[in-house]
Amino acid sequence: MADQNFVMENIVVGRYVRSLYAVSVEQKKEEEFLQQIYSIRSFLNKMPNRDKLLKKFSFISQEGEEFVRSLSDDLHLLPQLSNFLKLLIKNRRLAALPEICKYYDSFYQKKRGKKVFYITYANNKSIENKNDLFNQLRNMFTGYIEFVEKEDPTLMGGFQIRYQSKLLDYSLKSKLSRLERVMKGESL
């Protein structure tokens, strides 16, 4: 398996994610699948009592099928995704849908070689040469790179760069925190 190093907490969820991705590749609709997975995830996140309802729909197939039909119509889902949701109902796995959506995005990004850097800064002036920073990161990494920017005034100044599980913290807040620990005699 080429994607063996991609770890998911739930083996069953992993199988569904891989299968769904394989269908998207076979249909040559990878981007459309991803966008619709985002739509499904967004819809699910807005549902009150989501986990309880999905579990109920997993065991009461008639209500589950009605839910899937409504979801498919509202979000204009591709037939393949509608069929996938019906399969989840048939297998009594609809409750796993939020987790499947979550891992699908990560799996997709890993397979496509896309690297996403999350840049958080106190304000727009915190990074004097933002384009230089972006260019340096592009030179360090190969493949498609995307930057997601966000302001966080609690950083007080400077910026943070997050890539996968790594965080480079160049914020004033973190520098002050380190200085405080040194002054208290704590180890860094």
The 3-state secondary structure of 65-107 reads: HHHHHHHHHHHCCCHHHHHHHHHHHHCCCHHHHHHHHHHHHHH
Dihedral sign computed on CA atoms, order 179, 181, 185, 187: negative
Is this model's pTM higher than 0.75 or not? no
Mean pLDDT of 105-120: 81
Taking the domains of the chain in order of start, what are their residue ranges? Answer: 11-111, 113-183
Q: Which residues contact 115 (CB under 8 A, 6 or more apart)?
A: 141, 143, 144, 145, 146, 163
3-state SS assignment for residue 111: helix
CATH fold for domain 11-111: Peroxidase; domain 1 (1.10.520)
pLDDT digits (tens, 9 = 90+) for 17-41: 999 999 999 999 988 999 999 999 9
pLDDT digits (tens, 9 = 90+) for 43-75: 999 999 999 999 988 888 789 899 999 999 999
Task: State phi, psi for 170 to the nearest 5 degrees.
Answer: -115, 35
Q: Please give the pLDDT value at position 1.
A: 41
Output the furthest CA–CA distance in the chain (Å, rounded).
64
Q: Report how far residue 52's alpha carbon sits from residue 55's, in angstroms, rounded to the nearest whole number.
A: 5
pLDDT digits (tens, 9 = 90+) for 3-16: 444 445 588 899 99
Q: Report how far residue 31's alpha carbon sits from residue 181's, in angstroms, rounded to the nearest whole number.
A: 47
Here the tokens at position 156 are 């007080």
pLDDT digits (tens, 9 = 90+) for 115-145: 888 888 887 666 767 788 888 888 887 667 8
Here the tokens at position 34 are 């991803």
